[in-house]
Structure 1
Amino acid sequence: MSSFADQLLVLVMLINFAVLGSSRIALAIRAVAAQGVVLGLLPWLIHPFSWHLLAIMVGIILAKGVLIPWLLTGAVNKAEIRRETEPFVGYVTTLIIGALLTAFAFVFAGKLPLAPAHQGLLFVPASVATVLTGFLVLTTRRKAITQVIGYLVLENGIFIFGLLLTEAMPVMVEAGALLDLLVGIFVMGIIINHISREFSSIDTSRLTTLKE
């Protein structure tokens, strides 16, 4: 099971690169949705089966893999945008930085005093790499929707790390994190709607032109 979990975590990190290298917003949304589905399968691989665990997995897949991508797709259609055309940092450069951050995540994870049961697994390096990828997308993209995608990737990284702590913390903590994520998406949807209505663009760099 741990070997299959590591394979899924490798897939998660590959999806990170798909998000970093894609200018098509719809493709980035689908990549994040696929990442959410993969993360929804991970609890089954590291914890014994129970109906409670099954309910959690279904909730994660529906939230991360279906509901949130559906909301983002609706925002994209309303804003009538298709691509992130002028990021602050080019896509090739972003991919190179992403590769360096992923390598750093593996080095950093190797220095941590992990529990014996967690040593040799990819959960910590995949978590750190995904969080750093989310920050990279947030800081190098102009479109508000793409920045929301970065926020989703960042939260996915936090979720991966939280899987190692599920035995020590209540399930309600993760439910609260998902609730915060949904609230954040709704707020960003409102912001995107108002920006596109007033400025005919969702380029966040143009917000500097606002005056009181």
Structure 2
Amino acid sequence: MSSMLDILLISIVLLDFMLLASSRITMYIRIVALQGGILGLIPFCVHHQEFSIYEIIFCTVTIIIKGFVLPYLLTKAQKSADVRREIEPLLGYPISMFAGIIFLVISFKLSSKIDIPKLPVTELLITVSLTTIFNGLFIIVTRVKALTQVMGYLVLENGIYIFGMAFLKKQSILVELGILLDLFVAVFVMGIIIFHISREFDHIDTDQLVSLKD
């Protein structure tokens, strides 16, 4: 199962770089959806030797929420806000790609220094999780569209999710499901906020919103 896990993790990193290089909101949503579907398969690869009905339910719920429900809500928010592209990010796309490479190198360095006893997976899991966390934070900070920043938040959460897979035990399933529920509610609320912002101000650029005065 380690080879399958490595393929899934490498796919996550490639999707991270696709996010950094893309300006189309629809592409963002599709990549986040695909990433969510892949994340639902990772627990099976990590803990396949002691997989139970609880893990099956957890993986299924993860795929449904991250791969279908959240992308659906994001698509609805996109149509309501009528936004198609991230036109003017604070940092350009070539610089974003270069930053992604830097994040990957830093993650490799950090993962080799993290001493976790009885780690059930390879260091690649930690490397990919840290890279995804860094990329999520980078998207949140450097993109100006509120909807894109929401997806940066999702990417950040995906990285935290991957990191948690190294420590997943049966008793933590309910905690993980609770996190998924919180994520679902957060994105739902952010979608509503984005809709109202776009209806009132005809744009969802956060750099313009901060300059508003009473």
TM-score normalised according to structure 2 size: 0.95
2:55 to 53, 56, 69: 53
Partner residue, 2:93: 91
| Cα separation, 2, equivalents of 1:49 and 1:164 | 14
**Alignment match of 2:190 (pick from 188, 191, 204):** 188
CA contact (8 A) 1:6 1:121 kept: no
Structural mapping, 1:96-107, within 5 Å: 96-107=98-109
1:29 aligned partner: 29
Who is 2:7 aligned against?
7
Alignment of 1:145-164 (within 5 A): 145-164=147-166
Instruction: Please list, as runs of the form range in 1=range in 2, the aligned pairs for 1:56-205 lying within 5 A after superposition.
Output: 56-118=58-120, 120-167=122-169, 169-205=171-207
Q: CA deviation at 1:193?
A: 0.9
Structure 1 letter corresponding to 2:165:
L
Runs of 5+ consecutive residues of structure 2 not aligned to the other structure: none
- How far apart in 1 are the matches of 2:192 and 2:80? 11
SS of 1:87's equivalent?
A: coil
Cα deviation 1:4-36 (Å, max 9, x = unaligned): 101110100110001111000100110010000
- 1:66 Cα shift? 0.2
TM-score normalised to the size of structure 1? 0.96
* 1:125-163 Cα shifts (integer Å, max 9, x gaps): 111000000000000100000001100000000000111
Equivalent-residue separation in structure 2 for 1:120 and 1:197 (angstroms): 48
Rounded Cα–Cα distance in structure 2 between residues aligned with 1:107 and 1:118: 19
Distance 1:29 1:176 in 2: 23
Gaps of 5+ in 1: none
Distance in 1, Cα, partners of 2:191 & 2:15: 24
The 1:169/1:130 distance shift into structure 2, 3 A limit, reads farther
Matched to 1:39, the amino acid is L
Distance 1:119 1:31 in 2: 25
Equivalent-residue separation in structure 2 for 1:50 and 1:120 (angstroms): 22
Q: Percent identity?
A: 45
Q: Which runs of 4+ in 1 moved over 3 A?
A: 116-121
- What amino acid sits opposite 1:26 in the alignment? T
**Which deviates the most, 106-115 or 137-146?**
106-115
Amino acid at match of 1:49: F
**RMSD of equivalent CA atoms:** 1.3
Counterpart code for 2:199? R
